[in-house]
Chain A
């Protein structure tokens, strides 16, 4: 059952991810990205990472996607016209991907822990918001604060960038 769900979610996720790369219309790409991220969140749920899955849906499929769609519609980008595709570039890209997949296969094949089946968890592990929150605020408190400063700096930078030069 777990294996079936795993294959279902991962095949759908990869199909929609491929849709982003292949579609000519930017809005369709953005929609493909939303669906791909929702299936990625489903994959996180199959790994019992409920907090991360929900954060993925809220932040990526919600906030980041609204930002992308807003920009696409604000800039009113027309469909990408069919430019002459650079043949050497296409060949280089595909060869990079094939090479990467080969290296990945070799690396995962020789990994000693690759055959570990999903270990069973205590029932209390379902309450992972508590565990992640405790760890975040006790052990990773400083990085958490630094993250807040980073977001503040990003906000200031965006305001500065979008201001008129005059």
Chain B
């Protein structure tokens, strides 16, 4: 049977993969995808905590799952706004490479 530590390790490794993607990749779209990975890693640990913390009642602690629901909704809004900004930027600069996007001025 898997323990809580199993799930936390997998969630931590997923977070680390997302972090390394944000740090190393230069394509803004892939940086966005890796941000989504990091959010999902947090979701995985929240669901694991909710499942393992049943404090005697034999039903999971659903408060954690509500938080995951809110995180998913905020992440969806964040992706939509981020991609809209990216398209607006691409119209002006014709690139999504972060090293070419080093000025606030258009």
Q: In the assembly, what is the distance between CA of A67 and CA of B12, in Å?
A: 27
Say how far A25's CB is from chain B's closest CB, in angstroms.
Answer: 10
Identify which of A14, A51, A75, A150 gathers the most chain B CB atoms within 10 Å of its CB.
Answer: A75
Contact present for A52 and B68 (CB under 8 Å): yes
Contact present for B52 and A113 (CB under 8 Å): yes
For the complex, would chain A's binding face be called helix, strand, loop or mixed by DSSP majority? helix
Contact present for B65 and A128 (CB under 8 Å): yes
Q: Is B104 an interface residue (CB 8 A)?
A: no
Residues from chain A with Cβ under 8 Å of B69 in the complex: 51-52, 55, 132, 136
Q: In the assembly, what is the distance between CA of A63 and CA of B43, in Å?
A: 18
Residues from chain A with Cβ under 8 Å of B9 in the complex: 104-105, 108
Q: Which residues of B contact A (CB under 8 A)?
A: 1-10, 12-21, 23-27, 29-30, 32-34, 36-37, 40, 43-44, 47-48, 50-52, 54, 58-60, 62-63, 65-66, 68-70, 72-77, 79-81, 83-88, 90, 96-97, 99
Given A14-B13, A75-B96, A83-B99, 18 extra CB contacts under 8 A: A10-B10, A17-B37, A21-B17, A44-B47, A49-B60, A55-B69, A60-B72, A75-B87, A105-B9, A108-B9, A111-B4, A118-B1, A119-B51, A121-B58, A122-B58, A132-B66, A150-B77, A151-B77
